[in-house]
Structure 1
């Protein structure tokens, strides 16, 4: 596990320095900047949302390497993608599942962080129901297939200070797996449900 972590850090650091950066310091120096308001999006109380039960990186430059579960996902331009597994319980059968990405400003985060370089275009794909990442087995060359359902795959432009509904689907008990990648951006963050939440979640509506 340690060599994998060292490799990921070695890949991430030069990649993060290769693209334009956006962080709290950039906007704070802008005379048009004003202190951001309350969280761009909030999660309902538990158990009315799903935190990813598994987050697995895959790398096209190391296509046969299987990485461990992480709470610090990062996506790099044209290389590292993240696979998010969610498990939908029987009690949610027939409700609507909303796939949401929460992306606050840095100074709105109390227990998390992010680092962003690039232009903010991300691609999301959904795997067939029940498919998904398997820790220790999933690699770029052995990754879940993409299903052409519910408007996926899709590209979404995302910037700090916003919350995005990536897609909606009828909740069916079982595993929902989504893959996030980018062609022009490097984004690292700590997946966190504390205010303000940041990252990919599934919420429910009646």
Structure 2
């Protein structure tokens, strides 16, 4: 059997202190994420579909072969790569980025990658000319009769900050020498690369995250776990505790975990990843055992999980020998 977002709705079951954790995703507190934006509009000739570009003065455009724009979101406010504040100009609500402007608050990224303003994913594109160039608004521009509704999706490190995504706000650091219970080792480990969305890397032995790479895992949950509780754990011992494994960690940041609607295969690429939903965030700190999330065991099912990073590069050999390292599901 295949699960639908097997760890999508979770509650923490550990009593250990989480004081060492600073959540990066829920809620977002002065941690920026950077991305490009892609417009998705109705199918029409020269329609408003494609990556948002930018004019030299900071106007954001769909179409017209303008250089792709990069944006960063921090505490609901957006700036572009030139550190110009992105605003909704009154009274038209045109989305543009101006030198010296204070960014308009209220933006966020939802779990499906969509950019929202005040929790509304609806944006509008209005034509600038007859050559397929469109400006972006949060409401149809006054006097414009050819405006069409669009959706904007963020491609980069942004993840949702809304508590409505049913994600535990604080994972727990587990204390003590052991974490009792039966462990489920991943039976498939597949890296994917957002920078090479169609690339297929196949089944690997290592978990890898970089600014563009994530790793997908399949777990087979034993039928005997029916009615029991399962936990998603990430174990990162200190280098000196490892006997048959090793890891390389660069930067200081978090690991971000997603539940996949379906398991992955050896030919899965970033482009073909199933629908995903954020389930938790763990600090990438050597010497920690982190309880990311807990729920009823999806007994008898094969489930898929995705691990990405924020502010770090991590590569490790998944291994259950002392000391265990990597992502596991444990029957409590």
Q: Do the two structures share a fold, i.e. TM-score over 0.5?
A: yes
Q: Does 1:99 align with 2:250?
A: no
Deviations 1:81-115 (A, max 9, x none): 00011011211111111110111100010110000
- The structure carrying a bigger strand percent of its residues is 2
Q: Residues 165 and 113 of structure 1: is their aligned pair in 2 closer, same or farther, counting only changes over 3 Å?
A: same
Query: Distance in 1 between the 2:184 and 2:206 partners?
Result: 17
Write out aligned runs for 1:105-120 (5 A).
Answer: 105-120=238-253
SS in 2 for 1:64: coil
SS in 1 for 2:206: coil
Structure 1: gaps (5+ residues):
1-38
| Structure 2 counterpart of 1:58, from 192, 198, 219 | 192
- The structure carrying a bigger helix percent of its residues is 1
Structure 2: gaps (5+ residues):
1-174
Q: Does 1:122 align with 2:281?
A: no
Q: Residues 155 and 43 of structure 1: is their aligned pair in 2 closer, same or farther, counting only changes over 3 Å?
A: closer
Query: Distance in 2 between the 1:184 and 1:135 partners?
Result: 27
1:160 — aligned with what? 286
Query: Distance in 2 between the 1:42 and 1:170 partners?
Result: 22
Q: Does 1:84 align with 2:248?
A: no
SS in 2 for 1:107: helix
1:141 — aligned with what? 271
Query: Distance in 1 between the 2:221 and 2:308 partners?
Result: 23
Query: Distance in 2 between the 1:88 and 1:199 partners?
Result: 17
**CA RMSD of superposed structures (Å):** 1.7
Q: Residues 166 and 100 of structure 1: is their aligned pair in 2 closer, same or farther, counting only changes over 3 Å?
A: same
- The Cα shift of 1:176 comes to 2.0
Using CA pairs below 8 Å that are at least 6 residues apart, which structure has the higher relative contact order? 1
Query: Distance in 2 between the 1:115 and 1:142 partners?
Result: 28
Query: Distance in 2 between the 1:181 and 1:61 partners?
Result: 13
1:184 — aligned with what? 311
Query: Distance in 1 between the 2:224 and 2:183 partners?
Result: 13
